[in-house]
Every structure is written in C-alpha cells, then in structure tokens.
Amino acid sequence: MNALFFNMTLAIYFAATIAYLAYLVKPREVLGKVSCCILSAGFVAHCAYTVDRYLEAGHTPITNLHESLSFFSLAIVGIYILFERKYRIFILGSFVTPVAFLLMAASTGFPSAIMPLNPALKSKWLMVHTVMAFLSYAAFAVAFGAAIMYLIQQHFLKSKKLGPMYQKLPSLDILDEINYRCLTIGFPLLTFAIISGAIWAESAWGTYWSWDPKETWSLITWFVYAALLHGRLTTGWRGKKAAILAIVGFFVLLFTFLGVNLFLSGLHSYK
Amino acid sequence: MNIVVVGLSHKTASVDIREKVAFAPTQMEKPLRALLAIEDIAEAVIVSTCNRVEIYISTRDIAGGMARIKRFLADYHGIPPEILEPHLYAHHGEAAIRHVFRVASSLDSMVVGEPQILGQIKTAYGYAAEFKTSGIILNRFLHKAFSVAKRVRTETKIASSAVSVSFAAVELARKIFGDLSDKTVMLIGAGEMCELAAKHFINNGVRGVMVTNRTYERAVKLAEEFEGKPVSFDDLFDQLHKADIVLSSTGATQFIIKPKDVEEVSRRRKLKPMFFIDIAVPRDIDPKVNDVENVYLYDMDDLQGVVASNLQQRAEEAKKAEAIIDEEIGQFHKWLSNLEVTPTIVALRSKFEETRKAELEKTLASWKDLPPDGAKRLEALTAAIVNKLLHPPTATLKRAGQGGRTDLYVDALRTLFELQTGESEAEELGELEE
C-alpha cells in the first residue's frame, strides 16, 4: 500500500514536470491549469503516502534520508501550490516542480524500509522540529526558483535581448515580491525549528547546543537569511542582491540538509 | 448561394480615394437598404473604416453581383466608375471567405495584429442585423469570421507585443514594475515623442506625473496638461528619487544624467528599480547608467530594436494564423455548399412526384375498362420508376455534399429541371444547422 502511494506520487510528479515544461514552451492558460491540477493530484497522493507511513511507523516519517527527501518534496509542492493560488504564475512551476520531482526520485536511492525508531528520537518534538525545518527549506526552495527567474529576466532587460523567454517570464517586481514573501515565511519557521531543536536537545542530550555539524550549519544558514532579511528591511537590498543571496542561502541550506548527513558525522547523522 | 466581396483598402487605394468611398457610420440604413433593393442581392453588410470599405453580399449570380456592387459604389458616392474600378478588388467563393477571415483576424491590416478591425466589423454587422439586411448566410459567415479571429488571437501571439516605440516603453515598464498604478513618471524636457510616451503611461495607469524643463513656464504648462506637478530644472536631482520612470527628451548637447547622479538617487530610493527612457538625439543620459544596479536605461535605438523584433515576431505568427484560417475555410465552405443540397433534393423529388401524379390522374380518368386492382398497380409502378430514376442523382449529390463541392451539381440540376427553391426552405435548413 505504502509503495503504491509512493510510486503513484512519483509518476504524477513526473507527469506534472512534463506538463510544466510544456507550459514553458507553450504558455497557454489551459496548459497551466492542467499542470496545476496534475500537481495537486500528486500532492494528494503524496499526503496519503506520508500519512500512511506515519500510521504504519507510529512516528513522524522524517527519520532517514529517504523520508526526509520525500517530505522536503512534499513541503515544496505544498508551498508552491499556495503561491500559485495567490499569484497565478504557472511558469514558476516550470522551475519548482522539476526540483520536487528530482528530490522524490533521489529518495528512491536510499533504503525505504521502516526501521524501529532510535530511542533518542522518541519524542513529541520530533514532529515539531522536523516539520518546521522542512517547511522552511521548502519556502527557501521556492525563493530560490523565483531568484533564478529574477536573474534571468533581469539579464534580458539589461542586455536588451527580449526574446520569447523574456515574454514568458513575469515582471521583476512580482519575482522580487515572491522572494520576499518566501523569506518572511521561511525565516520564522527556520528560527522556530532551531529553537525547538535546542529545547529538544536539552531534554534528550542534556544540553541546548553542542556544536554538532548540523547545528553549526543550521546557524550559518540562519545567518545568511537573517542578513538578507535585515538588508531588505533596512538598506533596501532588493532585486539583484536579494536574488543572489537567496541563491547562496539555498546552497548553504542544501549543504546543511544533505552535505552534513552525507559527508560529516554527528548527532544528526541517522542512517 | 454565393458569397461575394467587393471593396478597396489601404493596399489598393490611397486615402483620397478611400475618403470618397467611405460610408458615415451613423447613416448606414440608407446604403444598406439601397443595396438590398438591387436585383439578385439577397443579403448585404457594409464595412467602412478609415483603411477599408468593403461590401459583403450573398447572391445567386456571382458576376452580376460583383458588377452591381461596383456600379452601386460608384453611383452612391458619385465617382466615375472608370476611376473607382482600378482600386477595387472582388472575390467570391473560397477567396471571399479567406479574405474576410484574414481581415477580421487583422492579417490584412496596415499594422498586422492591430485589434480595432474586429470591433469595426462587429459594428458593421450590428448595423446590418439592425436593419435586417443580413440573413442566414451572412449571419453565419460573420459569426464564423469572429470566431476565427478569436482563435487567431488566442492561439498565436500576433497581437501580443508592442509595435510602436511608446507602447514598447510601456511594455518594458510592465516587465520591470508589474503594476504601474502606484508609479510616478518624470518628464524631462518636452517634445512630441516625449508627450506621446507620457500619455501612453498615463493611459496605462501611472499615478503621478512630474514635469521639468529648462524654461520653468513650459514645465508649468505641460504639467497642467497632464495634471502633474512642475519641477524647476535646478531641483531635478532633488526630486528625481520620487520618479520610477524617467522620460527624457531635451535639446542638451551633453549628457545631463550621469551614473553617479543615478547611484545617489538610487540610494535615496533604497535601490527601488528605476526605468530611464532617453528619447533625445543626441542622448541626454549616459549609457553607463544602465550598469547601475536595479536601473534600466533604454534609448531610442533600443526601443526601435524592440519594435523591429516584435514586428518580425508578428510576421512569423501571421504564418500560423494563415494555417488556422485555411482550416476554418474548409469547414465553412462545406457548410455553405451543403446549405443547398437538401432543398435541391426536395425540390427535385417534388417536381418528379407532381409530374407523376398529374400524368397518372390523366391516364386513370380516361381509362374505361380498368381492372379492379389496376389503379393500385399503376400507382406502384410509376412510384417505383420515379424512385429508381431519382436514386443515382440523389446519392451523388449527398456524396458530393460530404466533400463540400456541390455548386456544380446544384446549379446543373436547377437549370436542367427548372427547379425553384424558396428562401424559406434554405432558412429552415439553416436554423436546423445552427
């Protein structure tokens, strides 16, 4: 049953990716709506998969890389659908949906068997901490997509090469606004994820902060986004600067999420 | 029934001819009724715009119909026919359908893709409908033309990009700012181009206007015209940070706005984007201003480059539009041909039936020693003969109808058998098909 939901999700995300890429080539309103419907169907299947796995395992299914990648993908799709409802920019999906699909595909590369939970993780904090962390990651992933689009569109406008791609991309203003909105969603979530992690660490390991690689890198990520938010609110870092920082921030975040688990060992390295 | 189109356009006639042939939009009843009074013109629609005058009719007689409209145009406007004739084009059948579909889709316009023409044809059709000079065929024809034009509009990008410098500037501004309704435009200097561009920005929702000029009085005058705020030229750099869009067109021989000025202004604006449009030749704004972060500078050449590439894009989109029209012509032509098939078959059958009945009655009336079942058997015999004889032409005609090529058969049958099909039958059929 669980594998069925998973494969269904993977297949639908693949279809949605194709549909959104087709939209990139031929931006027809109908195609955009169809793409959005396919993706929404995938989201439902993905939720079913996640809930089913939660019931089967008896704990929040974000305890290994397979589950984390899947949940990351789920969160990205969820946040993206929210943005699409608000801004009606289907083309953002052409940049975000492939990421969600690739994350989902990547999760198949890691063992998916449900393992008994490490006793250290048995806590109500598991859900709060991980869900918030991944929701913040997802918001930053959408910001990353919007930032890439911003830089492309900005390049067209500066160089005065106004080809078909320029016509398809939305205005700089909207892309910058999405960047900002994502930041205002992602940053508080990341902050709470770190704080809840510290509280949990105190009860599980007896200390709030132990400079474990994950903690260190989370803090670095937090600083990058804090700098971006600060710059935006005070000196008006907008447009190009904001886009570049959103991209840098996302790479740091990816390292925090994947690099730390794959290359460094510490308290967060659950295999 | 045939569709005939006669007219002239910017492609065949200069404005001094076009203005003589134009019909006043408020007085369409008279010419429309006059057209319908002409022999063998069943329906008529007059399209009259500043770039074209066209008359669409449905008629049985193609050559006669064309000649009569040409005569009508000359007589109605009091122009000698020999002067008008060389400017007129006349189409019928498929060519007429293609012509009207192309016109409605704005493929025949002076600026390909400009949207007004569709509205103008709709208005023209509105008059014809009001005065009941258009009927089943032209109604269907023009509705089809409207739907083809809509298809072209939605399925190609023929009208999606600006083809004038000032619209190109507005479009660029939309790509930078999105919504223009909370933006302010600053005009530096005056000039026709500059004012035109400013008007386009105001029409597209820009909120505030500021005007500056070396002669303050002129700034005040222009500001009044745009309901904006005059700014003294010396205060330019104190006020520039309030402007999102800057239109410059002064007679200055040197750059009046330099990168370091813009950097300073941009800082005061907290790096909010700015769009500079330099319409002046020689230029007013140093091209290096384009390198300042979140600042975009377009000069006259840049804007003309945008327009040129948009025009090229339209030409490419026009090819796609032609393909759509080809497809739709086939469908409509088939409908038009089929329109006459059924009434012709009905007329042919009733003609044969009447003849049979009349002859049978004559024979029966004069036949003294008719056997008891004789009348019944004669009835069956004659009916069978008529049915057998009519079967091949009926089947052929129906088959031809499937292929959309029936004019020849219908005309031949009508002439050979002297058939008359009333308009009412055609109308009934048309309603069934709607």
Provide mean pLDDT across the span B20-45: 91
Give the Cα separation of B163 and B310 in Å (integer): 6
Mutating which of B156, B294, B309 best tests the A interface, going by the most A Cβ atoms within 10 A? Answer: B294
Domain ranges of chain B: 2-155, 165-307, 339-433
Q: What is the CATH number of domain B165-307?
A: 3.40.50.720
Query: Smallest Cβ distance to A162: which of B269, B273, B309?
Result: B309
Edge to edge, the sheet with strand B52-59 lists: B41-48, B52-59, B2-9, B89-92
Structure confidence at residue A264 (pLDDT): 76
CB A249 within 8 A of CB A225: yes
Distance from CA of A161 to the nearest CA of B (A): 8
User: Is residue B35 exposed (0-12), middle (13-18) or buried (19+ Cβ within 10 Å)?
Assistant: buried
3-class secondary structure, B160:
coil
Structure confidence at residue B428 (pLDDT): 43
Q: How far is CA A254 from CA A50, A214, A220, A251, in A?
A: 22, 11, 12, 5
Query: Can you name the CATH fold of B2-155?
Result: Beta Polymerase; domain 2 (3.30.460)
Contact list in A for residue B294 (CB cut-off 8 A) is 238-240
Q: How far is CA A259 from CA A112, A256, A265, B414, in A?
A: 20, 6, 10, 86
**A143 or A111, which is more confident:** A143
Active site residue B50: yes
Q: Is the peptide bond before B282 cis (omega within 30 degrees of 0)?
A: yes
Tokens encoding A201: 């660490």
Structure confidence at residue B421 (pLDDT): 56
pLDDT mean across residues, chain A: 90
pLDDT mean across residues, chain B: 88
Q: Give the model's confidence band at A189: pLDDT under 50 very low, under 70 low, under 90 confident, else very high.
A: very high
Does A25 reach chain B within 8 Å, measured CB to CB?
Answer: no
**Cβ of B174 and A153 within 8 Å?**
no
By C-alpha distance, the chain A residue nearest B294 is A239
> What DSSP element (H or E) covers B63?
helix B62-77
Write out pLDDT tens, residues A40-97. 999 999 999 999 999 988 888 888 889 999 999 999 999 999 999 888 889 999 999 9
Would you list which residues of B are annotated within the binding site for NADP(+)? 189-194
Tokens encoding B282: 């020689």
CA angle, corner B20, sides to B17 and B24, nearest 5? 135
**Cβ of B293 and A237 within 8 Å?**
no
Q: Give the model's confidence band at B429: pLDDT under 50 very low, under 70 low, under 90 confident, else very high.
A: very low
Q: Is the pLDDT of residue B337 over 90?
A: no
Provide mean pLDDT across the span A25-46: 92
Contact list in A for residue B175 (CB cut-off 8 A) is 153, 157, 166, 171-172
Edge to edge, the sheet with strand B208-213 lists: B229-232, B208-213, B184-188, B245-248, B274-278, B295-299
Integer Rg of chain B from CA: 33
Would you list which residues of B are annotated within the binding site? 49-52, 109, 114-116, 120, 189-194
Give the Cα separation of B167 and B157 in Å (integer): 16
Does B287 reach chain A within 8 Å, measured CB to CB?
Answer: no
pTM here is 0.72
Catalytic pick among B50, B63, B271, B380:
B50
Write out pLDDT tens, residues B166-221. 888 999 999 999 999 999 999 998 777 788 888 889 988 898 999 999 889 989 98
Tokens encoding B26: 């408020």
Structure confidence at residue B68 (pLDDT): 94
